[in-house]
């Protein structure tokens, strides 16, 4: 049984790699496709769960490769684009990816070492944090404006446009995960690519890492705590808590930011599944898919799933670093402006393939807001109003 379970876990890890490398292909898509086909596959429930877990955790690591190298984000990795571009253009793209892997892996280790405490603590923490999450989100917005020393009116316009954008797109006939891809492609990916296309070439990349000038412990614990919030609260994802943690913890060092966002993304994936067992509510597409399977929740099942998550994280970290090395060693040989223009066109094609004409309109609208934000030298965190305001309204019951 162990070898069979391990085989399906590896299959899930493979699906996670594919979903991570292809912008727009989310593990949720794989999860619901698998669930719809499960009656015809004849696979045991625990093996199906192994595939789902392997895919979800692996994707949380691999997803940063296209985000950093090609400015092709999804919701969880959108805020890594600007720091990632800086690393890339400085010849340090591998270091950027390594930092996200480091943050994710340290989060897994911390959660594994304190797992019994989290099982007891999560229901208590959930009941405490839920009533004040609106206050925290509002404080985050206030702090955003406080930190924007110049062009505050332009920043207000960016935030208002983004908030209205978010309120509109969630009423469109697309699911939440379908909406997020064109939205974040436009706001963060396409807008960044538009301005980056003026660069004539990408510098040769160094395959080394320097962790001496960053606070690894602080960034790692921020990743775990913020990932806990994202993983247990409905309507709050990695992007929202990344903005919150960045503002409230005053993370300014780019290396610390990459570590923390890597930790947040992976911790969110772990806690969204753990929450299914601790508070009885799924917090991600994968956890919803797991809940739909006929099984009896138990501590033994939770421990088995958690063990699979830890194994997946280990494989995912090695695969992410190996794949990024292969890509980075060859990327500088390509004409950067041609690559950027090709990726720009490819993202539009992918948006259309996954979300149709509605997705294209969303992406173009997001691109317009992103171009305005960048041209006015406004911090791109203001574009997170696209999620912050709808989240606040959800918690207020509006």
Residue 23 lies in a domain: yes
Whether residue 326 lies inside any domain: the answer is: yes
pLDDT in the model for residue 163: 93
238-248 vs 216-232: helix crossing angle, rounded to 10: 140
Q: What percent of the chain has pLDDT over 70?
A: 86
DSSP alpha helix (H) spans, the chain: 2-21, 27-41, 45-62, 64-70, 81-89, 93-113, 115-129, 133-147, 152-169, 176-184, 191-196, 216-232, 238-248, 254-278, 285-292, 299-331, 336-375, 385-395
Q: Residue 335: how many CB atoms within 10 A of its CB?
A: 12
Residue 45 lies in a domain: yes
How close are the terminal C-alpha atoms of the chain, in Å? 49
In this structure, is residue 306 part of a structural domain?
yes
What is the arithmetic mean of pLDDT over 268-286? 81
In a domain, 195, yes or no: no
CA-CA distance, 18 to 86, in Å (whole number)?
A: 26
Average per-residue pLDDT in the chain? Answer: 83
pTM for this model (two decimals): 0.81
pLDDT > 90: percent of the chain? 25
Q: How many domains does the chain have?
A: 1
Predicted local confidence at residue 362, as pLDDT: 93
Q: How does pLDDT run across 330-343, given as a tens digit for each residue?
A: 776 666 677 777 87
pLDDT at 79 > cutoff 70: no
Q: Which domain holds residue 55?
A: 2-154+214-341
Confidence band for 300, pLDDT divided at 50, 70 and 90: confident
Per-residue pLDDT, 199: 58
Residue (of 390, 397, 393, 392) closest to 180 by Cα position:
390
**Is pLDDT at 309 greater than 90 in this prediction?**
yes
pLDDT tens-place string over residues 193-219: 787 665 556 777 888 888 777 777 778
Residue 54 contacts residue 12 (beta carbons within 8 Å):
yes
Span 263-271, average pLDDT: 90
Cα gap 125→334, rounded to integer Å: 49
Instruction: Quick: pLDDT tens for 24-55.
Output: 667 766 777 777 777 777 788 889 999 999 99
- From the list 178, 176, 180, 185, the residue with the least C-alpha distance to 72 is 185
Specify if 369 maps to a domain.
no
127 domain-assigned: yes
Highest mean pLDDT among 26-40, 166-180, 360-374: 360-374
Domain assignment present for residue 316? The answer is yes
Residue 381 DSSP one-character state: G
Indicate the range of 112-116, 178-182, 272-276, 322-326 predicted with least confidence.
178-182
Q: Of residues 82 and 17, which shows the higher confidence score? A: 17
């Amino acid at each position: 049984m162990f070898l069979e379970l391990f085989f399906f876990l590896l299959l899930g890890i493979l699906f996670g790699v594919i979903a991570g490398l292809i912008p727009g292909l989310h593990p949720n898509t794989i999860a619901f496709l698998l669930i719809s086909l499960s009656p015809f596959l004849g696979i045991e429930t625990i093996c199906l769960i192994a595939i789902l877990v392997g895919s979800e955790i692996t994707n949380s690591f691999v997803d940063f490769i296209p985000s950093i190298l090609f400015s092709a984000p999804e919701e969880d990795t959108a805020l890594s684009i600007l720091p990632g571009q800086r690393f890339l253009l400085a010849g340090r793209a591998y270091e950027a990816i390594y930092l996200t892997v480091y943050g994710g892996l340290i989060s897994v280790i911390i959660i594994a070492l304190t797992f019994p405490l989290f099982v007891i603590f999560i229901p208590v923490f959930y009941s405490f944090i839920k009533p004040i999450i609106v206050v925290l989100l509002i404080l985050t917005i206030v702090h955003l404006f406080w930190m924007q020393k110049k062009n505050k009116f332009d920043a207000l316009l960016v935030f208002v446009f983004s908030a209205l954008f978010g309120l509109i797109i969630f009423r469109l006939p697309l699911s939440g995960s379908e909406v997020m891809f064109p939205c974040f492609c436009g706001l963060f990916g396409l807008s960044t690519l538009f301005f980056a296309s003026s660069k004539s070439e990408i510098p040769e990349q160094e395959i080394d890492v320097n962790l001496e000038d960053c606070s690894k412990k602080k960034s790692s614990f921020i990743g775990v705590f913020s990932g806990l919030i994202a993983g247990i609260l409905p309507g709050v994802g990695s992007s929202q808590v990344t903005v919150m943690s960045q503002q409230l913890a005053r993370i300014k060092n780019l290396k610390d930011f990459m570590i923390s966002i890597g930790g947040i993304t992976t911790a969110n994936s772990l806690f969204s599944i753990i929450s299914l067992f601790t508070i009885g509510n799924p917090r991600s597409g994968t956890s919803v898919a797991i809940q739909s399977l006929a099984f009896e929740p138990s501590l033994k099942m939770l421990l088995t799933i958690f063990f699979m998550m830890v194994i997946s994280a280990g494989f995912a970290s090695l695969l992410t670093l190996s794949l990024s090395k292969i890509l980075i060693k060859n990327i500088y040989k390509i004409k950067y402006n041609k690559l950027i223009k090709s990726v720009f066109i490819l993202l539009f094609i992918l948006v259309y393939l996954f979300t149709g004409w509605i997705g294209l309109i969303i992406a173009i609208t997001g691109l317009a807001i992103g171009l305005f934000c960048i041209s006015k030298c406004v911090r791109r965190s203001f574009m997170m109003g696209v999620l912050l305001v709808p989240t606040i309204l959800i918690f207020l019951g509006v």
